[in-house]
Structure 1
Amino acid sequence: RTEVSMSFQQWVFGTMTGFTGVLLVLVLCILFVFATQTARRHIFNMFWMTHKLFIVLYVLTIIHGASVVVQKPMFFAYLTGPAIWFMVDKLISLSRKKTELCIIK
């Protein structure tokens, strides 16, 4: 059997792992730039909007490892705990939004 080695461009743009890897780097760069103290201080709304990209980051990471190019995907081992804590936190904050508060001056 003959194996043809792929060029760098074929690996990056011709495979799902390569393409999602490029997208992951872009998303992480965006998150990094808008997480700086200057961005938070001067354009807080952009900081807040871009940090909702964490969902895209998780989805891309799952897709990135799904093609099993190097090894069996292990991302779920690192996702499960934080995802459960995130859901618990969201459920608690949703339940608190429904609670009436009596404000006393």
Structure 2
Amino acid sequence: MGSKGHYRYHWQSHNVKHSGVDDMVLLSKITEDAIVENLKKRYMDDYIFTYIGSVLISVNPFKQMPYFGEKEIEMYQGAAQYENPPHIYALADSMYRNMIIDRENQCVIISKILMTT
């Protein structure tokens, strides 16, 4: 069990062949095609958040998603980045801790990239 009584998440816990990888540094080849294919697999299975190292990529699902409730806030608060699936709350919590504990300045870049398939 993870902290706060939740089942401990493991990055290999879901079908990688079907749903892609949580962190694209784990791809066997890091190419534009491999990245797009991984994001497409994850998007098709409603995994809208994906890491590439410490960077979080979010694909707009163009629909309401159940990823932003009290349960998610509790799950990501104080957890290590890889303790749970990729999520904007993990990034926000990590940045908050770096800002408060390590007294490091933080910066978030939000960029829109239009992709066609």
TM (norm. structure 1) is 0.30
Give the number of the structure whose residues are more often helix, by fraction: 1
- Higher alpha-carbon Rg: 1
